[in-house]
Structure 1
Amino acid sequence: MNTTIISDNKTAMQTILSDFKQLTKVGLSLSVVFSSVAGYLLAAEVVNFFTLFLLALGGFFMVGASNAFNQIIEKDTDAIMKRTQNRPLPTGRMSVNTALTIAITFTILGIGILYSINPKSALFGAISIFLYTSVYTPLKSVTPLAVFVGAIPGAIPFMLGWVAATNNFGIEAGFLFMIQFFWQFPHFWAIGWLQYEEYKKAGFHMLPMNTKDKGAIKQILFYTVIMIFVSIAPVLKVSGDFYIYPATAVIVALFGVMMLYYGIRLYKSEQNIDARKLMLSSVLYITVVQIIYVVDKFLH
């Protein structure tokens, strides 16, 4: 009898933990933490590990809060899409009140922790949560321009690391912001291509002009090219204290060309398999490029 109770309790705990991870999208939150840590390491003269820990924790809470608010707002549309219908809110495993408590707690903790680093970091954290929750999420069912708005909070983490290290939002932070901003269009539109039918069912406009055609891929290619130029621009020393060696610029450009290659393949085939490859190459790009920048900085 006791074994059954212990086993049931264990299963219940695993479900609660799994639901919590789904609500706050732990995987995505960790990738955002990775970006902000990279931004910090790029800026810091001397690495303060306590500040780095606070930045990672504050960033994690910030993204977790945004995701929780997003899932509260989209509870009904999440129930329509295969990809999201097993989330804790549409299935009823978690109540809206519980999710709201988590979202509000995470917001307070995230902004509070970032404020303890410096007020500018807290401000950008607050802007990020506000835009993602109050502007991007409602706009998804209104206009494809939602992706432009969503790219702003999505681009804040890399820049946030620089601001946390320097307490300054200058041209360097602006460049980090632009790199991640332009990267998001090919990344999200590749996902939009893959999930087009599902998004359509839920009434979301996630592709440019809301059409799955060559016109959408032209936009993907256009933004990929801009992303490559912005990513290698620091070699020209136009971005203040943030600059890279020519060899680094070549490596960054090659990874960008790889994304462009999959974009061109998608243009030719219009097949989901190529959209998936583009999406995966975009994840590889942003991860590797951030690592390359940090390595380059420590070689200066």
Structure 2
Amino acid sequence: MKTAVETAGGQTFSLIFADFKELTKARLAVSVVFSSVAGYLLGATQIDVLSLLLLSFGGYCMVGASNAFNQIIEKDLDAKMMRTRNRPIPAGRVSVNTAMLLAVAMTLMGVITLYILNPKTAMFGAISIFLYTGVYTPLKTVTPLAVFVGALPGAIPFMLGWVAATNDFGIEPGTLFMIQFFWQFPHFWALGWMLDEDYRRGGFKMLPTGAKDRGTVLQIIMYTIWMIIISIIPVFGFTGRLSLSITAGIVVFIMGMVMLAFAFRLYEKRNNKTARKLMLASVSYITLMQLVYVIDKLV
């Protein structure tokens, strides 16, 4: 039978772990690691388990550090918004000093771990933290162009895996970067549409026109079309070692058209329910697209 001390200790650990996951945005971090692993599998001529583990650990540290820095900077604004006011810092469960210590430690561990893979991987990881924390986060209350800046570090993970596998940056990782770069606009603006009222409480300027209007949706449609085009370019043999069979290209194209249909649906309806469907479609697209790329290479 467990003692009261053991039970209390277990509950305390669970609470600390829950706050750690929230500070580092664990679900987002895991999805980023998934993108990096997919990029690694596309670039690797021979899969090395240790390299995959280093990439996964280092990638999680870098994303987790960025998210922790973000929550430190925005602690007062987070307290004003419904969806963020119960985060560890504004809720008072974690102090700023503790969060800062965690963020710095994860940054150092992430850079060192990625450097063991190769210096280029560590460099791109460090650039992503700087852009996300030092440029994107402060701009969110200033201009909707912050989304463009935030899309730069957000597009690095897929590319980062290729660089980790090859220690090289060329047209292949550049193409992976562009796919994820264009994908982020419809994804994030659909999310921004859903949360627009809450974002306004925090003073954030997320939507490109500043309003939930047809202008915003037209930009969503435009970036979705560019995403589809870039996603199927490897079919035509212009992207070096990064290739895609005709069959896989058709599958990716169909998935992109499904996402585009949701974007047109948002243009028609312009409500939160339709924006949510587009956001979920975008999450499905990026995950399935990466799986199609990897499976196509392996088979």
Compute the TM-score of the two structures, normalised by the length of structure 1.
0.98
CA RMSD in angstroms comes to 0.9
The aligned counterpart of 1:133 is 133
The aligned counterpart of 1:144 is 144
Amino acid at match of 1:217: V
Amino acid at match of 2:155: A
User: 1:298 deviation in Å?
Assistant: 1.4
Q: Aligned partners of 1:15, 1:165: CA distance in 2, in Å?
A: 37
Q: Aligned partners of 1:5, 1:191: CA distance in 2, in Å?
A: 43
The aligned counterpart of 2:117 is 117
Amino acid at match of 1:16: I
The aligned counterpart of 2:153 is 153
Number of corresponding residues:
298
Q: Aligned partners of 1:100, 1:22: CA distance in 2, in Å?
A: 14
The aligned counterpart of 1:10 is 10
Q: Aligned partners of 1:8, 1:247: CA distance in 2, in Å?
A: 56
SS at match of 2:223: helix
Amino acid at match of 1:220: I
Q: Aligned partners of 2:206, 2:274: CA distance in 1, in Å?
A: 18
User: 1:239 deviation in Å?
Assistant: 0.8
1:244 equivalenced with 2:244 (yes/no)? yes
The aligned counterpart of 1:162 is 162
SS at match of 2:46: coil
The aligned counterpart of 2:216 is 216
Q: Aligned partners of 1:30, 1:51: CA distance in 2, in Å?
A: 17
The aligned counterpart of 1:275 is 275
Q: Aligned partners of 1:110, 1:18: CA distance in 2, in Å?
A: 21
User: 1:215 deviation in Å?
Assistant: 0.5
The aligned counterpart of 2:177 is 177
User: 1:7 deviation in Å?
Assistant: 3.1
Q: Aligned partners of 2:208, 2:188: CA distance in 1, in Å?
A: 11
The aligned counterpart of 1:93 is 93
The aligned counterpart of 1:205 is 205
Q: Aligned partners of 1:298, 1:107: CA distance in 2, in Å?
A: 33
Amino acid at match of 1:136: Y
Q: Aligned partners of 1:236, 1:202: CA distance in 2, in Å?
A: 45
Q: Aligned partners of 1:217, 1:189: CA distance in 2, in Å?
A: 8
The aligned counterpart of 2:186 is 186
Amino acid at match of 1:208: P
Amino acid at match of 2:9: N
Q: Aligned partners of 1:290, 1:20: CA distance in 2, in Å?
A: 28
Q: Aligned partners of 2:279, 2:118: CA distance in 1, in Å?
A: 35
The aligned counterpart of 1:54 is 54
Q: Deviations over 1:200-239 (max 9, x none)?
A: 1111011002111110000000000000000001111111
Q: Aligned partners of 1:3, 1:83: CA distance in 2, in Å?
A: 37
Query: Which blocks of at least 5 consecutive residues in structure 1 are unaligned?
Result: none
Amino acid at match of 2:119: P
In percent, how many aligned pairs have the same letter?
59
Q: Aligned partners of 2:10, 2:121: CA distance in 1, in Å?
A: 39
User: 1:12 deviation in Å?
Assistant: 2.0
Amino acid at match of 1:80: K
The aligned counterpart of 1:233 is 233
User: 1:3 deviation in Å?
Assistant: 4.1
Q: Deviations over 1:160-199 (max 9, x none)?
A: 0000011000000000000000000000000000000000
User: 1:9 deviation in Å?
Assistant: 2.8
Q: Deviations over 1:29-87 (max 9, x none)?
A: 11011000000000111111111111111101000000000000010111111111110
Q: Aligned partners of 1:240, 1:83: CA distance in 2, in Å?
A: 44
Q: Aligned partners of 2:140, 2:284: CA distance in 1, in Å?
A: 26
User: 1:13 deviation in Å?
Assistant: 1.8
Amino acid at match of 2:150: G
Q: Aligned partners of 1:187, 1:206: CA distance in 2, in Å?
A: 12
Query: Which blocks of at least 5 consecutive residues in structure 2 are unaligned?
Result: none
Q: Aligned partners of 1:268, 1:88: CA distance in 2, in Å?
A: 39
Amino acid at match of 1:155: A
Q: How does 1:26-37 map to 2 (within 5 A)?
A: 26-37=26-37
The aligned counterpart of 2:296 is 296
Amino acid at match of 2:217: I
User: 1:14 deviation in Å?
Assistant: 1.5
Amino acid at match of 2:246: P
Amino acid at match of 1:103: A
Q: Aligned partners of 2:211, 2:41: CA distance in 1, in Å?
A: 40
User: 1:272 deviation in Å?
Assistant: 0.7
Q: Aligned partners of 2:78, 2:67: CA distance in 1, in Å?
A: 13
Q: Aligned partners of 2:99, 2:9: CA distance in 1, in Å?
A: 21
